[in-house]
Structures are given as structure tokens and as C-alpha cells.
Structure 1
Amino acid sequence: MAEPHPVLITPEWDAPATVRALCTTRHGGVSTGPWGEFNLALHVEDDSAAVAQNRKSLLKACDGLEQIQWLNQTHSPRCITADGNSLPEADAAETDHAALACAVLTADCLPVLFCDETGSQVAAAHAGWRGLLDGVLVNTVKQFRAEPETLHAWLGPCIRQPRFEVGAEVRVAFVERFVGPSRAEIENCFSAAGEPGKFLCDLATLAALQLRALGLSRVSDCGLCTVDDPRFYSYRQHNPCGRFASLIYRLP
């Protein structure tokens, strides 16, 4: 039997030629059951040997990649400098080292990949609504030596507004605390749901508005919904489930 080969998605953006970015799907791995096939997370009760094999296959499928920085994600605003050896508690990572990928795992939350215009520094951030509200994207942008207006950002597959129902307290928290967009812009990202006190949240637009408020003009959004697109894991639709990865690295 042929070895499974991961099915990958390449972002459509104008990143420098020396930067490699990709998003995995749930296809092309060895995990079974609710984690099938290409689960890359160790914390979701999948068989650890299967996850290790999937991670090995991912590394093999990426030209010029030697290490992947995995994170212990906690919905925090923390961004660390990748070393490829530790497993830090953080929800974003940056590096200027070649052949070392910054990666985040998601299954409805928003993955955001970054690079500067020279391809000398890259970053990946995990932006669920809590981390987004608390500043994970703000902190990631701050880690770049280059000015924000020279950065590129790519918004990956996430749960989209028609599917993302939140309580009124989430809307109030964004209106009162979210940094960057105007109050009107924030309010426009929440529409009333059918149930009283519930709202449909546009997570990706909130992120894009904040990035542009920070000075970024090159913000690309893939527009893919993890609930509606069967290529991706969705925690809200199926739990337990696996996690897919969004990663970015510089060529040696």
C-alpha cells in the first residue's frame, strides 16, 4: 500500500518567493475514527503514533523545511520566538530562521499567517475569539522588525458568520475592548441570530479590520468556512475531531 500523502492548500497572496505557506486538510493521513485522516494534534485523544506519523508526513511534504514549531495553545494573546525544540504555552510564534516553520492548529478558530515584504521574518497566530479580543494579532505584529504597512497577512479557514453563534456577552466585550476598529465597524460584525440574546459573529472580518487599523494593507482572506467545507475539521460540528495546521517558513 502506498504511503498516504497529505492534501495541502497553498494560500493565494503576494508573499515573497522565498516564503512558503500552506494549510493542511483532513485528507492524506493515517488517523482513524473521528480524527481521520490527517489529524496533527496530540491533545484530542487520537492515537499518538498516528499523529506522529502525520507530522512526519507533513514535514516530508514541505520542500526546504527542517523543523516545525508546535505550540501548546491556550487561547492567549502570547506570541513567542520559535526555537523548534520546546512546546511553549502560546498562541502565536515568529522567527527569522530559515527552514523553521511557525504553525498553529485549528478546527474553527482563525489561523493567520504573516511575513514581511523581504521574506526575512514570518509568523503564525491562532485567533479564536478570546485570543483575538485579548490581542494575539496585535502582539504578533509587534514582534516584526518591519513596519506594519510592509507586512503581508493571510486569513485561513475558520468558522464563518452564518455558522458562528455567540452570546451577547461576546458582542459586548468586543464593542467595549477590541483594539483598532471603530465601534460601528465592530457592531457591523455581529448580526442578530434567531434566538434572543444570540448573535452571529464575523470573526475573520474582525481580524481583518484590526490588522488594517494596525497599518497592514496587504490582508488576504481565503474565505473558507470550516463548518461548510468537509475538507476541514470543525469542533462545533463534530466533537471530538482532529485539528489541521496552518504553517509558514522561509527557505534556506
Structure 2
Amino acid sequence: MTRIAIEGLTPRVQGFCTTRHRGASAKPYDSFNLGNHVGDSVASVMANRQQLSQWLPSAPIWVDQVHGTNVLVVDRSCNSETILSGLTQADALVTTTPKQPLGILTADCMSVVIANGTGTVLGLAHAGWRGLAAGVLQATVKTMREQNGELGAWRAWIGPCIGMQAFEVGSEVREAFLAKDPELAKCFVPHGALHKWLCDLPGIARKILHDHGASSVVWCGLCTVNDPANRFFSYRRDGQTGRMATVAWIT
């Protein structure tokens, strides 16, 4: 297993994003696929998740991601098989519990890790364009504030995702964002055919997070589609493929 470290947050928050290398899965899921919903063999996924667990303080909490805005609050009671298996529908998780890893699966969508300056509350969101337009990041920050009062200074990190040069969208996607915030027009560039645009997904996330109080938002700068070392799964590029995981926890 190889990893991309989370950077720019408080030292009390640790975590990383996995890559597709050094796992047990066969093509087209080769080889470190952590998604149990993509058609890969159960044995391969479990072997990969077992390898992942060796780097974590405890078993991660997974959810059934549906491109929505539901946020699961994770505390010490969240240890049932349903939660650990990822059968609860949500697209973000929030915790104040130390040593409890949160997990999000991606293959082009963004994983967004959010933490306050003291590392007492942690959020992790799955944000594709639909969830981003629906308000998943705002819902995550709102839930974090509910768990930690005023929240104070907080920062965010965005993991490997589809970059602007690889993400062509139709006008309906652009209009969905501009209806929420006309200033997001700067995150779209006309491209190719009529009514097609290149969409800067990390740029949209960065503006939303800054508008809601983030003191710093760092994108790792890695595109899942065009990475020269082919380190990442990409649904847009390959269709049938695996999933990386971003995991994070409070130390």
C-alpha cells in the first residue's frame, strides 16, 4: 500500500489517501481497491482493508455514499456492524472521538478533510459535483459547529480528484452552481463543443469553504485522471474500476 499524506491541518489530526498500488485485487480493480460495491471479489477487498487497518489506530467507519448531504456523527457508540460495514447512507462524517478513523471512498470525486485548530473536532466529506452543489460541505461544517460550539479557526485539505483539464461538464452543471453563487463562474472555462465547460471542482470547494470560515484550504494538486504515475482509480477514465480511501482521525 502506498499513501498520500494529509497536510496543512493541525498535528492532532492524522490521515492519508491510499493509491491503487500494492494490493490484492485483479484487473480492472488492480490492485489496492477498497470499494466493496464495484464488483471486485469480497476476498480481495477484505485483504486490502486488512492491510489498510494495519496503519490505523482502530477500524474505520465507512458509509454508503449517495452524492447527498447527510452527515453521520460518529461517537463511541458507533461500533455496530451496520456502521462498520458502510451500510448507513451518508456523504460526510464528523467526530470528536480520538483514535476513531473516518473513511471516504473516491475515484474522481473529492475527499475533503476538515479540522479545527485544536484538533478536537474532525470532518470528512465525499464531494462530487452533485453533493457539492447540494451543500455537503456546508452541512459538514454546520455539524462540526454543533459538536464543538464556535469551532474557532479551522482548515481543510482536499485529496486527489479529477482536475479541471479532465473534467468537462454540460451547462446544467455550471448553472446548478451559479444559481447558488454567481461568483463561481470563474471556476468554469468554455471548452470544445457548444455548451461544454471545464469545471474546477477543487476551486469550487475552496471558495465554498473560505466563504464559510476556513482559514486555509489546501488541494493536494493531484488529478486522478491524468496522474503520470497512474496512482489513482478514475471512474471517468476507466468506467469499471476500484476506489481509493481517504482516512483521518484525531490522535
TM-score by length of 2: 0.91
* 1:249 aligned counterpart, secondary structure: strand
Distance, in Å, in 2 between the alignment partners of 1:23 and 1:147 is 29
Corresponding residue SS for 1:113: strand
Counterpart residue number, 2:199: 201
> Could you say which residue in structure 2 is the equivalent of 1:242?
242
Residue in 2 aligned with 1:150? 153
Mapped to 2, the partners of 1:123 and 1:202 lie a distance apart of 22
Q: Which residue of 2 aligns with 1:173?
A: 176
Residues 150, 220 of structure 1: CA spacing in aligned structure 2 closer, same or farther, 3 A cutoff? Answer: same
1:49 maps to 2:47 = no
Is the 8 Å Cα contact of residues 71 and 88 (structure 1) preserved in structure 2?
yes
User: Any gaps of 5 or more consecutive residues in structure 2?
Assistant: none
Partner of 1:24: 18
Is contact 1:96–1:120 with CA below 8 Å preserved after alignment? yes
Name the CA shift for 1:188/1:84 in 2 (closer, same or farther; >3 Å): farther
Measured on the aligned residues, the alpha-carbon RMSD in Å equals 1.2
Aligned-partner residue type, residue 136 of structure 2: V
Which residue is 2:224 aligned to?
A: 226
1:149 deviates by 5.2
Amino acid at match of 2:119: G
Q: Structure 2 counterpart of 1:143, which letter?
A: T
Which position in structure 2 is the counterpart of 1:71? 63
Q: Tell me the equivalent position of 1:37.
A: 31
Q: Secondary structure at the match of 1:237?
A: helix
Partners of 2:162 and 2:107 lie apart in 1 by 8
Question: Percent of aligned pairs with the same residue?
Answer: 41
Aligned to 1:162, what secondary structure does the other structure show? helix
Distance 1:38 1:129 in 2: 25
Matched, 1:211 2:205: no
| Cα drift, residue 99 of structure 1 | 1.7
Q: TM-score by structure 1 length?
A: 0.91
CA distance in 2 between partners of 1:202 and 1:59 (Å): 33
- Corresponding pairs, count: 238
Using the TM superposition, give the Cα deviation of residue 84 of structure 1 relative to its aligned residue in structure 2, in angstroms: 4.3
Q: Give distance in 2, aligned partners of 1:159 and 1:84.
A: 33
Contact 1:148-1:215 at 8 Å conserved across structures: no
Q: Which residue of 1 aligns with 2:6?
A: 11
Summarize deviations over 1:120-168 as a string: whole Å, max 9, x none. 1111100000000001000000111253551121011110111101111
What's the CA shift for 1:17?
Answer: 2.3
Q: Distance in 2 between matches of 1:22 and 1:146?
A: 27
1:192–1:84 Cα change, 3 Å: farther
Is residue 84–residue 100 contact of structure 1 (8 Å, CA) maintained in 2?
no
2:55 to 61, 81, 86: 61
Gaps of 5+ in 1: 1-5
Q: Aligned residue for 1:89? A: 89
Deviations 1:4-37 (A, max 9, x none): xx11111221x22222111100012101111011
> Aligned partners of 1:240 and 1:43: how far apart in 2?
11
Structure 2 equivalent of residue 103 of structure 1: 103
Secondary structure at the aligned position of 2:198 is classed as: strand
Question: In 2 relative to 1, CA 202–219 (structure 1 residues): closer, same or farther, beyond 3 Å?
Answer: same
